[in-house]
Structure formats: structure tokens, C-alpha cells
Chains A and B, each alone.
Chain A
Amino acid sequence: MSNETRTVIIGAGHNGLVCAAYLAKAGRDVLVVEASNRVGGAAITREFAPGFRVSACAHLSYLLDASISRELGLAEQGLKTARADLRTVALDSNGNHLVLHGGQVQSGALMEQDRAALRDYQARMLRFARVLGKQHNRRPPRLLGGDRSELIAAAALGLDIRRLGREPMREFLRIAGINIFDVLEETFESSLLKGALAFDAVLGTNLAPRSNNSVLALLHRLSGQAIGVSGGLSLPEGGMGAVSEALAKAASANGATVRTGSAVARILLEGDRVSGVELESGEQVAASTVISNADPARTLLQLLGARHLETGFVHRIRHLRTKGMAAKLHLALDALPSFAGLQPDLAGERLVVAPDLVYLEHAFDHAKYGECSPAPALEITIPSIHDRSLAPAGKHVLSAIVQYAPYDLRASTDAARAKLLEATLTVLERYAPGLRRQVVASELLLPIDIEREFRITGGHWHHGELALDQMLMLRPVPGAAQYAMPVNGLYLCGAGCHPGGGVMGSAGKNAAQAVLRQERAA
């Protein structure tokens, strides 16, 4: 092995590519090795039926860090938005839908009391989410044994909370650890509104509205908007894969090399530091620094191996909560579906099926015991309305997140998948009668399928639950929240690190800065 200054990045997910771009920009010799045949990880656009393409895992962009877009020149690399600022439509089976945007109800029957409460709620939540959002591009402080800069970082977090003001700070501390069910019940009357707002708190999590931490999960989701991610909920032209391709171009333009179809079999060590990676082909690539965009468990327990780590650390990694709870549905449709009572021009917005809090809670009850929800909650987009490149002329693709679908199933995977598809179509049919007959082809990815296709342990799109005990300086585990792992030269840069997943890119950028900082210190 000869190359002593090369950096190898395992995985060309969006964070891996962001990290590669920043390191290459700083003059490092960077090679990204990706197992699949395309870049993007869980932010890809792929065909699932002849002529029909869809964002296969993440399907909306709402957290992509503005500084990253700007610094890496993603617009110059061809990233365009097909539709920005999507509104949310809370679907009602009687056709009394609510159209929500920016804390306002744009249409739908709602008492004045709820309208006022919604404005206040939205402002309050965004203000709290801003505290989290401001941490995204910061390295989380170390809890023990840190130097002055760590103390200052910890103090900055405290100060951000204190700066909310006395009353808001009390409110923040009151609700940050509790559940969204109670918060919504004390704030609103409308069941449909409460259902739709609660849905945002539990989307992609192992939480029901009554689960603690659900407020925090909502704040994380809102954090991008809170710190001014432009465009709100948006659909990139060409699907989420276009984000990854623009990032890959930015990385290449800065001098990084990206190799697809090159799965890493293991991380190589020489003594107590990394010396490179071995590909599944048997080829060895020397490197002085290895940065993994794979999830923490895959990186540390599979690619590196527990025996190269210490017992306590391995124990914490093994007990990360990494099981996904959300399935992904793709439908190829031969016509635009018609939702009862919904103006046709609203079909391209973000449609939510979460009619009330108890509906969500019941959907979760089944998942707790290893069954998919018989009446799931849905986040539906029909991106082909805004982006004709995704489906043949006159036809459409529907992409939906289906909750809840547990990783550990009591039934066989195939039986569970078929049952959940049927349940989901039944729910869809309730809101869009006749949709079932429009389906040309379908694909449903359970967490176990997501694990397989995207190589994410547990199939959780955040590489691990975002909860109080797995956030900030506790992410992925205490003592390893600063991207450097306890083996010299090994770093993590994926969603398993602070600040988590959601096609944000901050973990990749922060990891690159951690590597450069370490290099300067050495």
C-alpha cells in the first residue's frame, strides 16, 4: 500500500458526496466508493416500472442546507426545482379537505379559534425548531473531557435556548420531551387539523402521537424551514436523484473521484489506525483516512469489526435504535387520479392521510406487535404533475410514505408486503375512488427492503431514530459525536451522525470539517 494521503469515502449517498466535495475543495485526494451502480444512496431517482421513474426513498427536499447548495454551486451543476413550496392538503374522506401553508389555512372549514391557534402554534414551533436548526452546522460539544471550545459550544446551545425568552424557554422545556398528542389536544379543536399536524411529528419515526419525543421529532423536521432552507417542501426536477447527481458533479468538479459498483467488504487496519479499504472484488485501496457514509452499525460492526473496538463502545453501537417504521409505495398510474372534493390543481401538493390523532395511534398499535397498519397513514406526492420526465405522457407516478410498517414482522415479508399494499390501496380508494383501476404497476418497499436496497441497517431513513437520547452530542453514541471514531483515521459522515437524516448534507459537511481540523491539529 503506497498512497499515504488519500481519503476514501465509503458510500456515495448525499452526505458522502457533500463530504467528498468539501474535502476535495480543500485539496485532499478523495475517492468515493459506492456499492450500487449509481450515486445517491437513499436520494436516488430510479425506474420501478417501464417508463415510470420515482424518488425511490426520500421523495421531498425540505432540509438541504442552504450553505451547502451555495458553496458547492448545486444550481451551476444543474440542480433545478420542479416545484417549490408545496402546500399540505389534509385529506378528508367527506371531501372537506384542509389546505395548509405557512401556518395558514388556505381553504377548508375551520373555526376561527383554530385558525388563530394555528398561526400561534406555527410561529412557536418554528421558533423552537430554530434552536435545533442552529446546531446543524455545528460540531456537537463533548460532554466530558473537552477543552475550552467544547465548553463554549455547550454554552452556545444553552444560550440559544435561553435567548428564546423566559416564557418561550419554559414552554420549550415543557414540551420538548413530551408528546404531540397532548400538545395538540390542548391547542386545537379540529380532528383533521390535529391529525395532519401530528403526522409531521411521527413521520419516519418509531413514534405514535402519544409517544414521548414526538414533539422533538417535529422540531427536527421543521428545523430546515426554521433556519431558512429556501423553497420549503420542494420537488427537485428529475427527482431526489438530481440532488445527488448535482452533488456528485460538484465533488468531481473539485477533483474527487467517484467509483460506483464498488462495494466495500471491510475497512483495513495497520496497528491502531486505518490503512484503507478492501472491496468485495478483493481489490485493496490504500488510504490514510476512511470516512463512512454507511450507518454506524454497518460501518463499525460489519466493515470494521467489533474486535477492533472497545466493549462499551460496541455495546452502545449495538443498541442504537435503527429499525425503520415507514414503508415506501410507488404506483404507476395510467391517468391522474381524482381525489373526491379536491380541486384538480391541488393534486400535485403534498397530500396527507391522517384524519385524526386516534387514527394515527391505532395505526401504530399494530406495528408495535409486528404487524403493518391495517389502515395506514400516508404522505402522498404525485411528482409527475410537476415533472414530466418521470412518467410517459398522460401517465403519472404516485409516491407515498406509508406508516406504520415495522422492521420486525410476525408474518413473512412477502405476506406482510401484499397485505400492506392491499390496505394502502383500500385507504387510497377511500379518498380517490377509482384509483385502484388506474394502477399499471406498483412497488412497496418495507423497511427490510429499504435495508437491502440502500444498505441501511434496520431500514431507518435517518440511520437511527432521532430522539433525545440519540441527538446532538449523543448521536450516534456518547463519546463519538464528533465524527471521528475510536480508531485513528476513521470517521462517520452519514445520517447516523449529528444532525441526522432527511437529505440535509450537514453531517457530510461537518465531518469534512472535523477531518480537516484533525489534520491541522496533527
Chain B
Amino acid sequence: MKHKEHFRTAVYQTPFHPRTSALNTLNEWHRWKDYTTADAYFDEALEYAAIRNACAVFDLTPMTKHRIAGTDALPFLNRLITRDVAKIKPGKVGYCVWCNDDGKVIDDGTVFHLREGAYRLCSQERQLEWLSRSAHGFDVSIVEDTHDVAALALQGPTSCAVLKAVGCVGVERLAPFGITYFPFAGGELMVSRTGFTGDLGYELWVEPSQALELWDVLFEKGALHGIRPMGTHALEVARIEAGFIQAQVDFLPADQAIHLDRTRSPFELDLGRLVDFSKPNFNGRRALLEEQRRGSRYRLVRLDVEGNKPARSSYIYDAHRNGNVVGTVTSAEWSPSAKSNIALASLNMPWGRPGDELWAEIYYQRELKWSRVMARCRVVEGVFFDPPRRRATPAGDF
């Protein structure tokens, strides 16, 4: 925020706004952090269909981004984050969570090891205060550069073909979670094979001044590959199919919780794989070791719900009649790709074991009349939608 008059603008437009606003025939917007962002452009269902059958573009400029550098950048990140950041080599990206001292998740995000010793940390929530606080005792510089980077997600089976058409020679050889750079518009285009859809896809990073040129060339070269813009509603369906969790939805950031039982540890979010106890110190380590010893309080599960009514915000019971509430659904959608009624739910331990009989209490409205149905739920191991093309390297053209 370089402009001293910044406070006069309540909500910003991203550098892509001239294009996104022209395409937003529904004129549906909401506020995401500092920016206005499209809910949907022309039809949620068709935008979703583009993600899974062609490719779709999402403006992710509002996502909070930080640049982290300095001789202690790695030890700083390794103390901050639960996983071993040393294993994220230059040119690689890692999904991660970070915790408070009590081992409860503050946020999740991605660490980009841009170049030797230089990192980008993307987060769902604002993190500058926590990062700055964590920097004491480390030789590290932390800059929130959300406004200095324009970013698009290009997701879907034809995304690689579009990038090749744009001139990203050899991008098909980029492995999942890899980063590579291409000359672009007198500068540089950074491409990472990352995304929030669980599909073949990329995220594209440029300076704001290059934003419109990037958008235009994508839509020009992508026309024959079925490129479409997508809003947050379509993305929401795709991310639940992919089993990704979201702050404020599937978990409450620990620093915002007033009631301690509303927080969740990485184990309680099914992210135990991101906790590396072989590191001698990281935020939350002692508490998480203790949690391992004593057992967790909650479990995040993926549910396949009977019927076709999305189990949004449903209570989960341990039996159909006279059952006890054992948890709640945090995210739910009808999955067009898995052809099932899917949900993420946070359950009290020990519930959520494979084979547990669980029931969702679903309320739905038809012609303004509310109805209630009890639907049997099955705990699913693995994610709902996980096509081989997501990981195939070299990436296919489709």
C-alpha cells in the first residue's frame, strides 16, 4: 500500500477488473479481503463444467501473499510451519499449515520456494502480524506484497495446451508443485503447477502492469480450447470435490477463536501428514506431541451422503432415531464429477471411523416450504475426485 490516500478506497479492483467486469454478465460480486471479486460470470454450472472439461480462469489477485527472504528465511519458515520446509527445494511449492503455541491451526497456505533462499507464502487470512511477531530473533525480511502481484489460476484439462499456445515452451514437463519462468511482455511470467481444483492446472503470476496483456493472450489463444472465466461459486464445488479445506469455513483460524473448543489442530483437520516431529522446534510442536499422546478431540472426514440434497451445515448423528449429535458438516455440494452428494464434516472423536453409521439431518426448501430428511452417510477414504491427469507429467493436451 504505497498510496497515502489508500484509506479513501474501501474496496479495490484487481488489475484484471477491466476484463473481468466486461465478462461478468450476471454482475455478481462479493468482497474478498481488499478486492471485489466475481461470484459467477455467466452460469455457475457451465463455469464448473469448464474447469473439468476444458479450462477456466480465476482471478486470485486478492489472495494474501508475502515475500520472505534473508539468511534466516528457511529457519524462520521451519519454526513457523509444521512441515519440513527444507524439503521444498528451489522451484517447488508446498502446501502447509501453521499453528499457535497450542498446536491449533492459524491458517493454511502454500510456500513457494521461488529461488534459492527466496520464498513466497500465500495465506487465506491476513498474516503479517503473526509473521512479524514470529520473526524476532531471525535475520529475515517479510513483505506483504498482495498488491504488487497479479495472479490468475488457469485450471482444467486443456490448461497446459493453452499455455503452450501462449508460448510457454516445455510447460508440459513441469511436475505438480513445480515453478518455472517464461519471458513475457518485456518481463517475466511465473508459472506454478498448483491450484485449488484438484485438476490439471496452473497459477500464473505477473506484475500488475502485465495483467491485461496476460488475460488477453490467454483468452485469445485459449478460445479454441474452451477457455472460460470462473467465479468463486464454481471454484467452491471443485475444491470440495478435491477435498481442500478453507479457513472460516472448514476451520476457524485459531487467532480468531474466543472459545478454545472451536479451534482445530492439524490432526483434527486430517493434515497430520504436514506435521514433522523430526524438527526439534516449530510453533505448536509440544502441544501436538501431547495431542498425539492424549488423542485428538475432533476428526475431519469426507462423507458420501445418501440422496441428492446437499447436506449444508447439517448436524451429524450417530444413529437415525434418538441419536446423539457427533459433529457438523462444514462444506457440502452435489458433485457433478463424482456424481455423489459430498460433504466435509468435523466430528467428535471417536466418530468418523470407516464403517461408522452416521446420519446427516438435512433441511431443504422447495417452493418456500422447508422439509427435513435424515440421510445415511458413508466415510470416504481419499478425495472425491482425483483424475490421473492431475499428476501426469508431461501434462496432456486433451
Contact = CB atoms under 8 A, between A and B. Distances in A.
A269 B280 contact: yes
Interface stretch (A103-111, A230-238, A300-308, A403-411): A300-308
Contact of A315 (B76, B133, B138): B133
Contacts of A146: none
B80 interface: yes
Contacts of B136: 306, 314-315, 318
Contact of B286 (A269, A315, A486): A486
A310 B280 CA distance: 11
B137 A314 contact: yes
Among B72, B80, B101, B134, chain A packs the most CB atoms within 10 A around the CB of B101
Interface string B127-141: 000100110111000
Contact of A312 (B79, B101, B138, B281): B101
Contacts of A479: 101
B285 interface: yes
Nearest to B281: A308
Contacts of A310: 79, 101, 281-286
Label chain A's interface by main secondary structure. helix
Given A310-B281, A310-B284, A311-B100, A305 B137 contact: yes
Interface in B106-134: 130, 133-134
B226 interface: no
Label chain B's interface by main secondary structure. loop
B396 interface: no
Contacts of A306: 136-138
A157 interface: no
A313 B76 CA distance: 15
Contacts of A312: 100-101, 283
Interface string A264-295: 00000101100000000000000000000000
Nearest to A316: B101
Interface in B122-178: 130, 133-134, 136-138
A318 B280 CA distance: 22
Interface of B: 72, 75-76, 79-80, 100-101, 130, 133-134, 136-138, 280-286
23 contacts: A272-B280, A306-B136, A306-B138, A307-B72, A307-B79, A307-B137, A307-B138, A308-B281, A309-B281, A310-B281, A310-B282, A310-B283, A310-B284, A310-B285, A311-B80, A311-B101, A311-B130, A312-B100, A312-B283, A313-B101, A315-B136, A318-B136, A479-B101
Given A272-B281, A307-B75, 13 more contacts: A272-B280, A305-B137, A306-B136, A306-B138, A307-B281, A308-B280, A309-B281, A310-B285, A311-B101, A311-B134, A312-B100, A312-B101, A314-B137
Interface of A: 269, 271-272, 301, 305-315, 318, 479, 486
The 6 A-B residue pairs whose C-beta atoms are closest, nearest first, are: A306-B137, A312-B101, A311-B134, A310-B101, A272-B280, A310-B283
